[in-house]
Amino acid sequence: MNYIVDSVDSALKLLSYVAEHPGLGVTELANGIGINKSRAYRMLCTLELHRFVVLDARSATYSLGPQAFVLGVAAQQQNALVRAAHRHMLALNQAINETVVLRVREGLESVCVARCETTHQVRAVGAVGNRRPLNTGASGKVLLAFAPDAVRADFLARMKKLPQAGEAIVLQLTEELDAVARKGYAVSVGEVTAGAVAIAVPVRDMTGNVIASLSISGPEMRISRIEIPDYLERLTACSRTISAELGYSAPAGAIA
């Protein structure tokens, strides 16, 4: 039996789309989630009434409202992973003054669930809630490399069907993922933002499963090949501390 309420399902999809694409109008939002404009407008009016979205009257566009932030703060406080990670991420961020990010896998995408920003003016742009495909960036590759075999197989099978992909690119990604799993970390240069470097390592739960990726990111002029080993050591130590707080006990000689 299907207990999904269609109207609630659509409203939540619409709210999520506003969160991921702020500054869009009714037509763009309706097209984005595949419903008609009048239905989208009624839902937006309801969400606005309950302060989950706000309307910019000048541009006729929508963004998240104060009630959405209340939920976001509550979710962050209640999420064991974010609670365990935040103070350790902040300590690392303050020690190196580069952006530290925690991402988790949701389906075949990675989602940012926590972020500590650098104070440098030149920085990678991003936000909590940001999504991107698993094969993009160091964090995504860590999550994909350590994902269950079925998830990796599904992702690669879908990738093969893309016009711009093909066997050679899929094979290259497969080899890269195998290397990430073997080494226990990933490094990317310019994959998400031109001129930006990212280093990512896994975070594990009490069962040993990888549930998140922890990364440092910054411009190449600050994170050169010379700095990477030191940053990787600091990042690995931070991820191990977070994993230990979640109940993970690393076996002797483990890479990550």
Residues 130 and 236 in one domain: yes
Residues 30 and 138 in one domain: no
pLDDT at 162: 82
Domain membership flag for residue 216: yes
**Which of 19, 40, 67 lies at the terminal end of a domain, its last residue?**
67
Domain membership flag for residue 232: yes
Residues 240 and 124 in one domain: yes
> By residue range, what is the domain housing residue 25?
6-67
Distance CA(140)–CA(134), nearest Å, equals 4
Residues 197 and 94 in one domain: yes
- 158-175 burial, b at 16+ Cβ within 10 Å, e below that, comes to ebeeeeeeeeeebeebee
pLDDT at 128: 85
pLDDT at 253: 59
Domain membership flag for residue 256: no
pLDDT at 39: 96
Residues 197 and 100 in one domain: yes
Distance linking the first and last C-alpha atoms of the chain? 43
pLDDT at 78: 63
pLDDT at 124: 73
pLDDT at 254: 62
Residues 144 and 225 in one domain: yes
Nearest to 197 by CA among 227, 238, 163: 227
Q: How far is CA 123 from CA 71, 139, 142, 164, 194, in A?
A: 28, 17, 22, 30, 11
Domain membership flag for residue 1: no
- The enclosing domain of 62 has a CATH number of 1.10.10.10
Residue 51: left (phi > 0), alpha (psi -120 to 50), or beta? left
Domain membership flag for residue 254: no
CB atoms within 10 A of CB 23: 11
Q: What is the number of structural domains in the chain?
A: 2
pLDDT at 224: 87
pLDDT at 125: 72
Q: What is the full per-residue pLDDT of the chain (256 aa) written as tens digits?
A: 778 899 999 999 999 999 989 999 999 999 999 999 999 999 999 999 999 999 999 999 999 999 988 888 777 766 889 989 999 999 999 999 999 999 999 889 999 999 999 998 877 777 888 889 999 999 999 999 999 999 999 999 888 888 777 778 888 999 999 999 999 999 999 888 888 899 999 999 999 999 999 999 999 989 988 999 999 999 999 999 999 999 998 776 565 5
- pTM to 2 decimals? 0.74
Residues 100 and 187 in one domain: yes
